[in-house]
Amino acid sequence: MTTPDPLFMRRAIALAREGVAQGVGGPFGAVIVRDGEILAVGENRVTSSCDPTAHAEVVAIRSACERLGDFSLSGCELYASSEPCPMCLAAIHWARIDRLWYACSREDAADAGFDDALLYAELALAPDRRRLPGGQLLRDEALASFRDWAAKADHIPY
Amino acid sequence: MTTPDPLFMRRAIALAREGVAQGVGGPFGAVIVRDGEILAVGENRVTSSCDPTAHAEVVAIRSACERLGDFSLSGCELYASSEPCPMCLAAIHWARIDRLWYACSREDAADAGFDDALLYAELALAPDRRRLPGGQLLRDEALASFRDWAAKADHIPY
């Protein structure tokens, strides 16, 4: 569908609130919908699962993919109680989700103490301009892995 | 350490090549190091685990956090056989990893068929300018989840 269903967003919001009440993690919920039905849900589980990638959207994506037995969620929509962070936006991209609906904005999340502005700024920089220390080494050796991939006729493209 | 150890990068490259040889996923490997020792490793498992978030860096981060029982990898370095995609860069940020070393560049990965330029471009846009269809709804209702969070005195900040 090209218009959102408020019922699914209310479920995402309820997940966010339940997660806080139960001490599961931060105030974020997500719902993945296919053909008008809920396929999977997720809430932020960073603290309780000791997993910094366990944002609500990622939790829901993993659950939906496990249920479908497919790494593609093409044909699905995602409802998020707050605008996804760059990690989750990228995960939504890799999962090939068709549509994203969100309720609170990035600015609302920042006001609540969840500010990802620095992360967006970091991603907009070239690698050698980033604040994150580090750098490049052994490129020539690593290119062999890409040659392996190209030479493997039966790999699954994705 | 502030200089990279080529041995750890060679391990990341070996993981990438082994992953391709074994059909586990794409040609990407990652190693997380703490105090000069390998804490966790990962290889791309997107296709074999039906998980679009199972990039090598995310697999390694999850494994390291599980091993430590902590959602923070402060004090750790990550070695990646190729420059991380935005999802993985953001995961590295949320995991509080101190340093990132990589071998192949984003451009090398694009030449091999793994092009994330569109994703970087998408992340640089304001939400209402993105190619990904969707939009905002029910902001007022969702703000309640942030009020819940603020009112909960015993939440774990992260």
- The Cα–Cα gap between B86 and A40 comes to 24
Query: Which of chain B's residues have a Cβ under 8 Å away from the Cβ of A4?
Result: 134-135, 137
Interface contact B53-A156, CB threshold 8 A: no
Mean pLDDT of B92-115: 96
**Minimal Cα–Cα distance from A104 to chain B, Å?**
5
- Nearest by CB to A142, which of B51, B69, B104? B104
Average pLDDT, chain B: 94
The answer on pLDDT for B154 being more than 80 is no
Work out the pLDDT band at A155, boundaries 50, 70, 90. low
- The Cα–Cα gap between B139 and B35 comes to 45
The answer on pLDDT for A156 being more than 80 is no
Query: Which of chain B's residues have a Cβ under 8 Å away from the Cβ of A53?
Result: 53, 58, 61-62, 91, 94-95
Neighbours of B127 (CB within 10 A): 16
Write the pLDDT tens digit of every residue in A119-146: 999 998 888 888 899 999 999 999 999 9
Cβ neighbours of residue B107 closer than 8 Å, sequence gap 6 or more: none
Work out the pLDDT band at B156, boundaries 50, 70, 90. low
Confirm whether B43 is a catalytic residue: no
- Give me the interface pTM, i.e. the ipTM: 0.95
> Taking CA atoms, what residue in A is nearest to B53?
A91
Write the pLDDT tens digit of every residue in B68-84: 999 999 999 999 999 99
Query: Which of chain B's residues have a Cβ under 8 Å away from the Cβ of A2?
Result: 133
Residue A76's H or E segment, with its range, is strand A76-82
pTM score: 0.95
Work out the pLDDT band at B42, boundaries 50, 70, 90. very high
